[in-house]
Structure 1
């Protein structure tokens, strides 16, 4: 069973990329050593995502410690439902209400970066656009017919598809350029991209909180193996010196 879970965790990013169709994914500027970015990402998540989405495998206290946030400050600014710092990060919305309003309870996001991939998330959050035919008035380039509202619209503003006219075989056609905001959001386009990058950075961290520690240990393991190989090689030569 563990082997199956590990195999699926390795395959899911590739599957998610394939699920994005022909839309080209942008590269997410992930940097797990950037504590300031992780702190900003945590703030964006708690203010705009935690109302609907939970992180049932991540504790507040672990987040505060890893991100260098004093527990008192974190509890005051990043906990809105009266939970204790040692509790898991649960959604504020009751699950029954979420299922009623959205048709199904919004998914837990603890491992979403490992399942979808950071590039997919980064592109997804930057490609919502107005589509009046959809129940929430928005659609998405990476996830067509998405079933959720654009939670970050107060930051980005009203996003619309942008096209330009080009000549193809002597005919004028419209070519997709990108998503442009109407400018009614709290952030400029560059500031919004940075906020999304911070949020995705935070989601990448929650998917594997011990990643940096594992990488650090892994380097020492490789050094140990190299040193051990030298001694094993010399020992082998000593054992076989009379044979050769």
Structure 2
């Protein structure tokens, strides 16, 4: 009973931390995140991105490495591609950085991301991870369009490149947009000096897909069981109902 209560309190605290982390600017258009929990390959790619770029600062205490077997990875693949220290495959995805160091470096302890997709939403995360821009007034050198004065640096900048903020007009009706001025490894030059962000957007989409899956890893299996139950009821009830009707009216007709 005590363990259950402690787990519930931990989950509640993670949700509150996610809400605090996600509080951002209002009135910013949120792009639709390409969420598909049935796309195991996308979730696998997202898990790899999460481990390589996020897990050094953000933990996922509710998630265990061996749960990734549910998306088609073997234990050997998990150990070889997603575990780089002395963890065991049954361990939680704990953060490598000390909480005190995180608070000293970023002004606040980086929150656990187990439930961030549920506390803020996939669309917000998808937009947030694509709208960092250079800002020399910030301690990290980065700011964000949907999370003004964000303390987190742009950890994916080598993939996306560098964006700058362009403001047209003044006051509350000013129009803000981002311009990619330096391409990354996943952004290529296009026509008329533009850049193609499709590959980077896809990588972020996979990451958000994984974060969404991680918040409720049993969702796909639960839906599969639900569809199976409905199919069974349809196949069972229709013929049984027909036979009962036939038996009931047999003496009358």
Give yes or no for TM over 0.5: yes
Q: 1:128 aligns with which of 127, 132, 135?
A: 132
Tell me whether 79-88 or 15-24 shows the greater mean CA deviation: 15-24
Q: Could you say which residue in structure 1 is the equivalent of 2:222?
A: 214
Q: Could you say which residue in structure 1 is the equivalent of 2:181?
A: 182
Structure-2 separation of matches of 1:99 and 1:175: 33
Structure 1 unaligned residues grouped into runs of 5+:
166-172, 239-244
Residues 81 and 94 (structure 1), Cα distance of their counterparts in 2 relative to 1, 3 Å cut: farther
Q: Is 1:29 paired with 2:34?
A: yes
**Kept in 2: contact 1:138–1:150 (CA 8 A):** yes
Equivalent positions of 1:53-202 (< 5 A) are 53-63=58-68, 65-162=69-166, 175-176=175-176, 178-188=177-187, 189-202=197-210
Structure-2 separation of matches of 1:47 and 1:16: 21
**Kept in 2: contact 1:38–1:198 (CA 8 A):** yes
Offset, 1:154? 1.3
TM norm structure 1: 0.78
Q: Could you say which residue in structure 2 is the equivalent of 1:51?
A: 56
Structure-1 separation of matches of 2:122 and 2:150: 18
Structure 2 unaligned residues grouped into runs of 5+:
188-196, 249-253
**Kept in 2: contact 1:16–1:116 (CA 8 A):** no
Aligned length: 223
Structure-2 separation of matches of 1:143 and 1:193: 18
Query: Aligned to 1:183, what secondary structure does the other structure show?
Result: strand
Structure-2 separation of matches of 1:183 and 1:75: 35
Residues 48 and 128 (structure 1), Cα distance of their counterparts in 2 relative to 1, 3 Å cut: same
Structure-2 separation of matches of 1:95 and 1:48: 17
Q: Is 1:38 paired with 2:43?
A: yes
Offset, 1:175? 3.9
**C-alpha offsets along residues 102-148 of structure 1, whole Å, 9 cap, x if unaligned?**
22220001111111110010001111111111111111111111111
**Kept in 2: contact 1:16–1:117 (CA 8 A):** no
